Amino acid sequence: MVDNSSEDMGLASVLNQFPKTQLIDNSTNVGFACANNQGAEIAKGDFLLFINPDTTMKEGGIEAMLGHLRSDPSVGIIGPKVLNPNGTTQFSCRKFPTIWSGLFNKYSLMTRLFPNNRYSRDYLMSDYNHNSTRSVDWVSGCCMMIPGIIFRRANGFDENYFLFNEDIDICQAIKKNGYKVNYFPSSQVSHKISSSNARMAPQTIIKRHRGMIYYYKKHHKTNSLAQWMVSAMVTIRCFFQLFFNIIK
Q: Convert the pLDDT of each residue in 106-120 to its tens digit.
A: 777 778 888 888 888
Tell which wins on pLDDT, 58 or 22: 58
Least trusted range by pLDDT, from 55-69, 151-165, 232-246: 232-246
pLDDT at residue 88, rounded to an integer? 92
- Average the pLDDT over 122-130 and give the result: 91
Sign of the Cα pseudo-torsion (214, 4, 48, 83, in order): negative
- Domain ranges within the chain, ordered by starting residue: 46-193, 197-248
pLDDT at residue 179, rounded to an integer? 97
Which secondary-structure segment (H or E) carries 55? strand 55-57
Q: Is residue 199 predicted with pLDDT exceeding 80?
A: no
Least trusted range by pLDDT, from 13-22, 114-123, 136-145: 13-22
Q: Convert the pLDDT of each residue in 180-191 to its tens digit.
A: 999 999 999 999
CATH of domain 46-193: 3.90.550.10
* DSSP code, position 88: P
Residue 197 CA to residue 248 CA, distance in Å, equals 7
Residue 52 CA to residue 141 CA, distance in Å, equals 8
- Average the pLDDT over 215-219 and give the result: 91
Number of H helices, E strands in the chain: 9, 10
Q: Convert the pLDDT of each residue in 160-172 to its tens digit.
A: 998 889 999 999 9
| Closest-CA residue to 97 (of 171, 155, 37, 32) | 171
Any idea how long the chain is? 248
